[in-house]
Amino acid sequence: MAYYGKYQSPTDLLRDDSLSRDRKIEMLESWRDDKDAYMRASDEGMQGDDHAERLRKIEKALSALQET
């Protein structure tokens, strides 16, 4: 999880000029998949923060990168 502990939000990741566009997409996809798995676990009774909102922000950031 390359994003873990380094980026507070998908926007922070997007602003990191040291990363290539492809690397940002790769990291956002990984982040999305992790959040998606966590949300599924939450649906099965595990508690957590508002991960749906974070997942929405990740999807928005991915869309912005993929449109360029």
- The model scores a pTM over 0.75: no
Q: What is the separation of C-alpha 4 from the centre of its chain, rounded to a whole number of angstroms? A: 10
Residue 54 within any structural domain of the chain: yes
Host domain of residue 20: 10-67
Residue 2 within any structural domain of the chain: no
Residue 23 within any structural domain of the chain: yes
CA separation for the pair 16, 44 (Å, rounded): 35
Q: Is the pLDDT of residue 6 over 80?
A: yes
CA separation for the pair 44, 49 (Å, rounded): 15
pLDDT tens for 27-58 read 999 888 887 666 666 655 545 556 778 788 88
pLDDT tens for 14-35 read 999 999 999 999 999 988 888 7
Structurally, the chain folds into a number of domains equal to 1
Amino acid at 60: K
Q: Are 30 and 2 in contact (CB under 8 A)?
A: yes
